[in-house]
Chains A and B, each alone.
Chain A
Amino acid sequence: MVLAVMALIGAEVMFFGGLISAFYILRAGSFSWPPIGQPRLPIAVTGINTLILFGSAVTMRLGVRAAKRKRRVAVTRWLLATLILGSIFLAIQGSEWIRLIQYRLTVKSSLYGALFYTIVGAHAVHVAGAIGALLFVTCSASRGRYSDSDHDGLTACSLFWQFVVLLWGVIYAMVYLG
């Protein structure tokens, strides 16, 4: 299953590669960026949010390590922490979207808005999917599923989670700071 997730990640990297190259191509062809009258992206709040998501990568890693040391309760606890941090990230992202829409940044307002919502939205969908997988894995962990030597499902889920976190780092650097 780990191999399958690695193959999926390979395809996902290419998907986001396509989106991000579209972002750069369209930005290179536009007169001013961001366009006049469109809000700047919230760098500071999102920066803090990025740190929160990076924190979830650490808790995920600790959860896998606890599973390898056969500490059943610790596994569940770390996975729950990861779930909470991931959900906080999504919630803050959502509230930022609402604020941006109030500042009249929408998919139709400009290419800038369209690209922002497409790339960040595609990432948010991945975080939501990863949270779903994590929820499943956490339930299994609480029933003692990963306390023996079979960590396949947990490792696969952790791999995908780390990918989603790392991907956010790239998107933050390229879309917000770039």
Chain B
Amino acid sequence: MSQAAVISHAAYAEHAEALGFWRKYVFSTDHKTIGKQYLGISLFMAIAGGFTAYAIRWQLAWPAAGIPGLGAITPHAYNSLVTMHGSIMVFWVAMPMLLGAFGNFCIPLMLGADDMAFPRLNMLSVWIFFTSALVLLASFVAPGGAAASGWTAYTPLSDTWTSAVWGQTMWLFAVALEFASFLIGGINFLTTAFTRRCAGMTLWRMPLLVWDEIAASVLFLLSVGPLVAGAVMLLMDRLLGTGFYDPSKGGDPLLWEHLFWFFGHPEVYVVALPGFGIMLEIMPVFARKPIFGYRTIIYSTIVAVGLSLIVWAHHMFVSGMDPRLATPFSVTTILISVPFAIIVFAMIATLWGGSLIFDTPMLFVIGGLASFIVGGVTGIFLGSAASDIYLHGTYFVVAHFHYTLFPVTFFGGYAGIYYWYPKMFGRMMDERLGKLHFWLTFVFFQATFIPLFLAGIGGTPRRVFMPSAYPSFASLQPLQVMATVATIGLIASQIPLVVNFFSSMFRGALAGRNPWRANTLEWTVDSPPPHGNFPDPPVARRWPYDYSVPGAASDWLPQVAETNPPAGIKVQRAS
């Protein structure tokens, strides 16, 4: 250990003690605190997102009844609810949970670093994000109501024609702030991974979660630019009276769709990759088996990142764009399922033959994987232009993307919460409540969205205030009622989580350093880790997935372990 490191750690310890309440818990530059702040904001916004989901579903099931807690709503208010539900869940729940919370909390710990590369920028990013959430929530009470043009803000709906004059502009500002926050965060993640790794932590020894967070950040940086350009033009249309998207002034509404989906499709993978990272990180620990195809997973991830930048127009098959574009975009879209299929098969192969331990984190991982496969397979029908023309704009699409994003965000995110909670707060969460939470969530999730697949195949259009008013869809109304009942069940299923989360903070069993017998570096320090993370700079001596190594004394070898298996025994390594 170098002299400098000793001094710096002593300085950290002193520094940490000198900090008052505000600097320690509110305006903190510590990546662990910032990660928890992101987690807190995302869970709070999930309540808002869940409430909008409940209101939307109630309206669809019993349009005449009036929504308990909200009253009867106008079609415009319904559009606002749908818009805000999508925006909140993607930008203010999925991204802060999967990137903000687990990225910030795990990356420096897993790499053996004392903090992010730019701790003060990191604090700036969480506060910009907090501001963006406030602006978005404030738009609910703006004159004219919240934005009502869908989370995709399609022009001309979002242009000067919308009656949500304030709401739409506030939505644009909120999204702009959110992007600024994640732009700063993404640059920070990337720089940290390339400059702050501890001794011995080569790129090919990085845990897969770190790889996935980096891949997601790079993808976000590459894809967000065109949407920001589009948003600047939309703001100018709204505030300065230009006509970028207004055909009467020579503009083109389709331009927005291209710029939006150039970002919007990669955004799905920006959210999905960290979700996969969490699943990939947890699986080997609870299968007591090395990850299958470590390098293959990384290469597949990189290929998926590249391909995701050239698939966007599959959202636009029926938009009126040149139909000759449909074939190339169908091809790239079907191609991108190959790297994801490889990752999914690598996950299944990791489970295969393992000594599976069905603790709550593992249950959420397996449940999430099983559900995600349904989302992936149904995506093929939408990626192919021929079948998409029929299914586009129906509840089939709604069910499909909920089957991809819900498993990634909530099953993945919950798995991460149950898994890293001991490291975050030093105490274990209750297993019985956790398992109850899992089974209720899993069952009600399927019960919500399977009926919507059927309603969609029946042709029911999405984003319609009262589909039952059309005689042709009236016979499908029982499916809508079933989905609504299940949604209310799904929301109620989150009560065990809330109870568990807060009661375990005080009453949970003390976790100790490594309750899961896991290999990655964060489990070699105290729970919760001190300011500056590692009392002594760690040295990574192996990859993070040495579980059940033949000849080893225990079935796990932490990354810092020096012992090597006896000579002559061949250890399965990353391919």
Contacts and interface: CB of A to CB of B under 8 A. Distances in A.
Interface string A2-37: 011001101111111111011001100110000100
A140 interface: no
Given A4-B118, A7-B191, A26 B225 contact: no
Contacts of A118: 232-233, 236, 242
Given A11-B221, A26-B252, A114-B236, A21 B226 contact: yes
B229 interface: yes
B244 A16 contact: no
Contacts of B232: 19, 118, 122
A111 B252 CA distance: 11
- Majority-rule SS of A interface residues: helix
Contacts of B242: 107-108, 111, 114, 118
Interface string A103-116: 00001101100110
B252 A15 contact: no
Contacts of A114: 233, 236, 242-244
Given A10-B221, A111-B242, A15 B226 contact: yes
B225 A22 contact: no
A25 B188 CA distance: 34
Interface in B169-223: 183, 186-188, 190-191, 194-195, 218, 221-223
Contacts of B186: 7
B471 interface: no
Contacts, number: 98
B283 interface: no
Contacts of A18: 225-230, 259, 262
Contacts of A108: 240-242
Interface in B216-274: 218, 221-230, 232-233, 236, 240-244, 249-252, 255, 258-259, 262
Contacts of A13: 225
A3 B225 contact: no
Interface residues of B, number: 37
A12 B194 contact: no
B382 interface: no
B195 A3 contact: yes
A26 B228 contact: no
A22 B228 contact: no
Contact of B187 (A4, A14, A122): A4
A107 B232 CA distance: 13
Nearest to A14: B225
Interface in A56-112: 107-108, 110-111
Across the A-B interface, the 10 shortest Cβ-Cβ residue pairs: A14-B225, A18-B226, A18-B229, A15-B225, A114-B242, A11-B221, A111-B250, A19-B229, A4-B191, A7-B187
Given A14-B222, A25-B258, 20 more contacts: A3-B191, A4-B191, A7-B191, A7-B218, A11-B221, A11-B224, A13-B225, A15-B226, A15-B229, A17-B225, A18-B259, A18-B262, A21-B226, A22-B255, A22-B259, A26-B252, A29-B252, A30-B250, A108-B241, A110-B250
17 contacts: A3-B191, A3-B194, A7-B186, A7-B221, A10-B221, A11-B183, A11-B221, A14-B221, A14-B224, A15-B225, A15-B226, A16-B229, A18-B225, A18-B230, A22-B229, A29-B250, A118-B242
Interface of B: 117-118, 183, 186-188, 190-191, 194-195, 218, 221-230, 232-233, 236, 240-244, 249-252, 255, 258-259, 262
